[in-house]
Amino acid sequence: MNTKRALLSVSDKTGIADFARQLHDAGWELVSTGGTLGVLQEAGLPVRAVSDLTGFPEMLDGRVKTLHPAIHGGVLARRESGHLAQLEQHGIGTIDLVCVNLYPFRETVARGAPDTEVIENIDIGGPAMIRSAAKNHESVLILVDPADYALAVQPSVSAADRRRLAAKAYAHTSAYDAAITAYLSAGQPPQQTGAPVQESRALPAELAEQLTLDLQRAHEVRYGENPHQHGAIYRWGDQRGPVLDAQVVAGKPMSFNNYADADAAWALCAELAASHGNGQAGQVACVAVKHANPCGVALGSSVTEAWTQARDADTLSVFGGVVAVSGPVDLEAARSFHGTFLEVLIAPAVSTEAVEWFAAKKPDLRVLVAASAQAGQLDVRPLSGGFAVQGRDLRRWEDLCPEVVTAKPPTEAQWQDLRFAWEVAKYARSNAIVLARARVTVGIGAGAVSRIWAAERAVANAGAAAQGAVMASEAFFPFDDVVRLAGEHGVAAIIQPGGAKRDPEVIAAANELGLSMVLTGSRHFRH
């Protein structure tokens, strides 16, 4: 009963043989299961099978191995109580170290395995052993991460470290259960609770009755939005993101605000590229963002042309901004960014020569290569004491049925600009008004508490460039004041969702002023 016993059963076998050898050399008795047992035997280590302790072979194709009093009794027994006498009465020895990580459930899902295989990769005995050991962490070391193996072979482990390892273990099983819940919930019919549902629409499966935010820290940052706030960047489960997983190839480390702005810039840039083609097949998109709002957006035949036009759309706001481009940045394109102070540049690729130029000429500029990843399906925003959760706004131009409601229809060129302006307005904070011409923004008013104020900001920003431009509004016009303002400044065509009580008055004003107006029937609030 005095020999320390370690139970080793891991899916991730990184370093397990070396760790087991260190335990053996320190006098530990080794017990193992399945594939881990084979690895240790091949390493020439003396190791007992779990079945030697339980008196039962592994059963049901390995589904039952460790669910037995000889295992859980040895793990859960309190050392400073009558539990040890009970173990001795039943011939059970203590287990003083449990090293377990779980079946590769998430990895199996990620590679698109069939449902039967995914279900078989739901670990049962592993979580039970982890939870048992973590509960009794004062006496039992629990290890779920190879990074902690070195700590376990020290002569003694402090109470604080034991408690930390226990917390880490419960986080491990919690994240695992969250992944299983998400998988089993996907595609299932919504539960009928009898409660009224707004607009009589059933909630989709991803908005289950209970959501678990499985957050793992992905990046450290110096502080949050302001220096007096702590901050870090977290990954939700196993999700990947184009900015979250981007490679920083030059410049300083990313800040909290850099991540937020780069994510906003890349989202609009990616949608424009998908909508209008990219590279030789179409147009390169460039999006400049300041405080999560687009301030200059353009489509061009090259990165240099698109960037130049986006920069010139609002040279004041772009200073200190974040820029996303949808085409690869070569040395020529890199040089076009000279003379403008930017915080971040993100692109799908950056040549070696461009990286070297940025490092030498703009060492403070963070240059990112976006990861090949799509944003998740849910939009989660914090509230005091909770979260507001919704599906992401994935409605694109192709999903709409735009309707011309004025006597004068838009020209072909105006249709292109209306589509472009509408897509930009979708990513500007409400209330938002976007003016564009030749698929370049010439004025943006965003985040205003009144739509007329947003429009006034946009036309003021555009100045003379408003003449002949198009206007997009992400939500309907409650009055005709915005239309009349547009007419005064020479705007030629307007696109907006429609649906207001005063739509007839708004349309009449457009006809009176000789403007074209298109209704989309779909708004894009963004708060």
The residue among 296, 299, 295 whose CA lies nearest residue 273 is 299
Long-range contacts formed by 153-156: CB under 8 A, 24+ apart = 153/19, 153/22, 153/23, 153/26
Q: What is d(CA 98, CA 31) in angstroms, rounded to the nearest whole number?
A: 10
Measured CA to CA, the distance from residue 405 to residue 507 in angstroms comes to 7
- Residue 275 identity (one-letter amino acid): S
If we measure between CA atoms, which residue out of 470, 416, 418, 480 comes closest to residue 443?
470
Catalytic residues: 135, 291
3-state secondary structure of 217: strand
Q: Strands 5-10 and 29-32, how do they pair?
A: parallel
Q: From CA 329, how far away is CA 312, in angstroms rounded?
A: 19
**Residue 82 structure tokens:** 């009558």
Structure tokens at 457: 């900001």
Q: In this structure, which amino acid lies at residue 336?
A: S
Look-up of token digits 């960014």? 337
* Dihedral sign computed on CA atoms, order 235, 239, 243, 246: positive
Helix axes 16-25, 34-42, angle to 10 degrees: 70
The conformational region for residue 211 under phi > 0 = left, psi -120 to 50 = alpha, else beta, is beta
Distance CA 161, CA 514 (A): 74
Backbone angles phi, psi at 217, to 5 degrees: -65, 125
User: How far separated are the first and last CA of the chain, in Å rounded?
Assistant: 63
